[in-house]
Structure 1
Amino acid sequence: MRLPLTTAFLTGLGSLLFSLGAHAQSTPLAAAPEPAPAQGPAQGLAPGEPPSALSGWMFGYAPFDWHFSDAKKEHDFEPDEQKHAYVWLLQAEKQLDDRHVAGFAYFRNSFGQPSQYAYYGWRFRPFDSMPGLFVKLTGGVIHGYKYPYNKKIPFNNRHGWGITAIPALGYDFTPNWGGQINVLGNAGLMFQINYTVR
């Protein structure tokens, strides 16, 4: 699934996230300056400082995908000339604890239909020597692959309601920024960038 990467979107997202993460600190004029408290490496917060209201939320954006093959007519009711549409995705995901996540994604599917995915999942960090690496598996309700493309994904009805599971492999480059590759069954791969609020 692919998404046009626009400068306006990234600039606006960056400004919003920067303002959410900014913390004001005031010091009395008469008091002698004190060294700033060290920030924790994982949370980026000073000791005793409350987290942001959005702490633990990850926002994802998938700018493009790669299909393993061209779109093909597989059933009589499908159009004769099928082509993959340009695909994009926006995602919001909440980290519930060290292993569990839940979220919602809105995307344009491979046939140009607006689609949604509400899910629950598990995230694992398999190697202590590579703490940024993670493996994720989510499953939930998907909607949007409607007739005549309803049979392009399994466990889906003609009105576009179905269930699915999506595995992913990712890496957190910093406490805030990361990326992941979503495996879309035997259809293709989706490449995504993430921003996590700490």
Structure 2
Amino acid sequence: MQKHCGLRLAAIATMALAGSFHLNTFAQTAEPPLRSAARWELSFSPYTHHWHHDDEHKNVALIAIERIQPDNALWGAALFNNSFGQTSGYVYYGRQWDGVFGQPALYTKLSAGVIYGYRGKYKDKVPYNRGGFSPAIIPAVGYRLTPVDAVQVAILGTAGVMFSYSRRF
């Protein structure tokens, strides 16, 4: 157990340090993103912290692709292994707000969509699950390390929080 905790902390520290060389420079000179063109973002999450320990929990890893429109509307899809080791997916639509609290690098997101993947004995681990499909609303807060790199924390309801790294292209 301690080994897994140490690996998780190392993953979080690595994500935080990944952009630390550019952090101060970007935070002082950042301007709001250009809104003249849609942009793609690829995200990776190596770690999710669960609020409550369960011996059946497995590490959650996620990869997602997202399209952010010039008006900051967004849509995307994610593929992940859920907390119980089942291959799962999330398709969603939402919105991003940049420059939160007057900080150019700080943003928030809200997405709503459908999760598929909690099946069998785990079907009741997410609310309103019908045939493996369940609705989801996921708020997130992010910090843009550079114009193309960001770290983000998503709140997964009563389950936990997910830490991720995003790259814009």
- Band the TM-score falls in, shorter-chain normalisation: 0.7 to 0.9
CA distance in 2, matches of 1:163, 1:108: 17
Cα distance in 2 between the residues matched to 1:118 and 1:161: 11
| Number of aligned residues | 141
Structure 1 residues without counterparts, runs of 5 or longer: 7-39, 44-50, 72-81
Alignment counterpart, residue 150 of structure 1, candidates 93, 108, 123:
123
CA contact 1:155–1:164 (8 Å) conserved in 2: no
* Overall identity of the aligned pairs, in %: 36
C-alpha displacement of 1:69: 0.7
Alignment of 1:1-198 (within 5 A): 42=33, 56-71=39-54, 82-127=55-100, 129-157=102-130, 159-197=131-169
- Relative to the length of structure 1, the TM-score reads 0.65
**SS in structure 2 of the partner of residue 148 of structure 1:** helix
Report the Cα distance in structure 1 between the residues aligned to 2:61 and 2:140, rounded to whole angstroms: 16
Q: CA deviation digits over 1:111-162, x for unaligned, max 9?
A: 00000000000111253631111111100111000121111111212x3111
Structure 2 unmatched ranges of 5 or more: 1-6, 12-30
- Report the Cα distance in structure 2 between the residues aligned to 1:64 and 1:106, rounded to whole angstroms: 14
Structure 2 Cα separation of the partners of residues 64 and 128 of structure 1: 27
Hey, which of these two has a bigger chunk of helix by percent?
Answer: 2
**In structure 2, distance between residues paired with 1:163 and 1:115:** 13
- The CA distance in 1 between the partners of 2:139 and 2:32, in whole Å, is 28
User: Does the CA contact (< 8 Å) of 1:84 and 1:111 recur in 2?
Assistant: yes
SS of alignment partner, residue 146 of structure 2: coil
Distance 1:134 1:143 in 2: 27
Q: Tell me which structure has the larger Cα radius of gyration.
A: 1
Q: Tell me the SS of whatever aligns to 1:69.
A: coil
Query: 1:162, 1:170 → 2: CA distance?
Result: 25
Structure that is richer in strand per residue: 2
